């Protein structure tokens, strides 16, 4: 079973992400990057499935050159190879543009199953996987907590408001996994060495047959009008516990008449 994992390399969790008020985009250049933990879960799930059923795991990602560090991490975990869409022309893409680009790149790979994170840990829109599925012409199953394969069908345990749903879906398909689905493995030295020799194919939008007006800012349907800071909450007080912290909180609760 060949799996394509679609995941993002994002500013490291130690970085406070800023939005540039001129470009109205997140500042990505010049900050340390890492494989999105949500994408690491998607890679892990793909590795577990192919370890059991055979096949390849190809990571497809779009991002700036700093993304390479995260791609190497996925390869060190065990992914077979990677595809990196690296092109200034795709900067400023909205969700729809992003999905068109990723779908075009995925179509060039062999796949029975595409696994995505339900949402990235930096922008959280949560609709790119479903858009990719539409452009690939495969059914989408999102918020997966568990995936099992039975021949040409997959059974998915899907998070629901009141518990979970058992979903049956024919392959090929796209599954978006929730980040708690597994504990991603740490790359071992052997994997890190092997990753150096693995192939990273680099594509531009033009390589994927996408015209300049379909991607990037020109192709975006969503336009950010203003970037602002919300009205701050009135600053409260912060104190350090010196042994009576619990009592002080009780006093505060009395002050606001909760007790």
Partner 1 sequence: MAGVIWVYAELNDDRITTTTLEMVAKAAEAGKAEAVLLGPAPEDAVQTLAKYGATKIYRSADPIYREYLTLPAAETIAGLINTFKPAVMLFASSYTGRDLVANLSARLDCGAISDVGDFKLKDGSVEATIPALGASYQNTSTLVSQGTKLLLVRPKSFEPEISEQAVAIEEVPAASDDGLRKVRMKERVTVKREGPQLEGAKTIVSGGRGLKGEENFAMLSDLAELLGGAVGATRAAVDAGWVPYAMQIGQTGKTVKPDLYIACGISGAVQHLSGMKTSKTIISINKDADAPIFQYSDFGMVGDVFKIIPQLIEELKKRQGG
Q: Which of residues 65-104 bind partner 1 (CB under 8 A)?
A: 94-96, 99
Closest distance between partner 1 and the C-beta of residue 190, in Å?
A: 28
Around Cβ 112, how many Cβ atoms within 10 Å? 18
**Of 79, 40, 175, 185, whose CA–CA distance to 118 is shortest?**
175
Indicate which single residue of 25, 135, 149, 192 sits in contact with partner 1 (rule: CB under 8 A): 135
Residue 24 to residue 156: CA distance in whole angstroms? 38
Indicate which single residue of 51, 88, 168, 199 sits in contact with partner 1 (rule: CB under 8 A): 168
Interaction between residue 252 and partner 1 (CB under 8 A):
yes
List the interface residues with partner 1, window 136-155 (CB under 8 A): 139-143, 155
Question: How far does the chain reach from its first CA to its final CA, in angstroms?
Answer: 60
Compose the 171-190 pattern: x for residues touching partner 1 by CB under 8 A, - for all others. --x----xxx----------
Indicate which single residue of 127, 193, 206, 211 sits in contact with partner 1 (rule: CB under 8 A): 127
Site size with partner 1, rule: CB under 8 A: 80
H-run or E-run covering 6: strand 3-6
Residue 15 to residue 32: CA distance in whole angstroms? 8
**Of 117, 20, 17, whose CA–CA distance to 61 is shortest?**
117
* Pair 134, 105: CB distance under 8 Å: no
Say if residue 172 is preceded by a cis peptide, omega within 30 of 0: yes
Interaction between residue 256 and partner 1 (CB under 8 A):
yes
Closest distance between partner 1 and the C-beta of residue 200, in Å?
A: 27
Interaction between residue 238 and partner 1 (CB under 8 A):
yes
Residue 181 to residue 158: CA distance in whole angstroms? 10
List the interface residues with partner 1, window 17-46 (CB under 8 A): 17, 19, 24
Indicate which single residue of 107, 133, 188, 213 sits in contact with partner 1 (rule: CB under 8 A): 133
Interaction between residue 119 and partner 1 (CB under 8 A):
yes
């Amino acid at each position: 079973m060949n799996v394509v994992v679609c995941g993002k390399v994002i500013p490291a969790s130690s970085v406070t992400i800023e939005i540039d008020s001129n470009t109205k985009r997140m500042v990505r250049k010049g900050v340390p990057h890492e494989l999105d933990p949500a994408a690491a879960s998607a890679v892990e799930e793909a590795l577990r499935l192919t370890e059991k059923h055979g096949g390849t795991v190809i990571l497809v990602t779009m991002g700036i050159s700093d993304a390479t560090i995260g791609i190497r991490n996925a390869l060190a975990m065990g992914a077979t190879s990677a595809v990196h869409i690296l092109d200034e022309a795709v900067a400023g893409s909205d969700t729809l543009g992003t999905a068109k680009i990723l779908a075009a790149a995925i179509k060039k790979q062999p796949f029975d199953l595409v696994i995505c994170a339900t949402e990235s840990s930096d922008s959280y829109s949560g609709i790119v996987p479903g858009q990719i599925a539409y452009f690939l012409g495969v059914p989408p199953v999102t918020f997966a907590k568990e995936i099992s394969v039975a021949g040409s069908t997959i059974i998915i345990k899907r998070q629901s408001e009141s518990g979970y749903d058992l979903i049956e879906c024919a392959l090929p398909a796209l599954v978006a996994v929730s980040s708690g689905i597994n504990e991603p493995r740490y790359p071992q030295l052997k994997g890190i060495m092997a990753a150096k020799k693995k192939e990273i194919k680099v594509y531009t939008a033009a390589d994927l047959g996408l015209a300049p007006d379909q991607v990037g800012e020109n192709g975006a349907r969503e336009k950010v009008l203003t970037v602002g800071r919300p009205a701050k909450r009135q600053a409260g007080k912060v104190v350090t516990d010196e042994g009576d912290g619990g009592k002080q909180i009780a006093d505060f609760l009395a002050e606001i008449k909760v007790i």
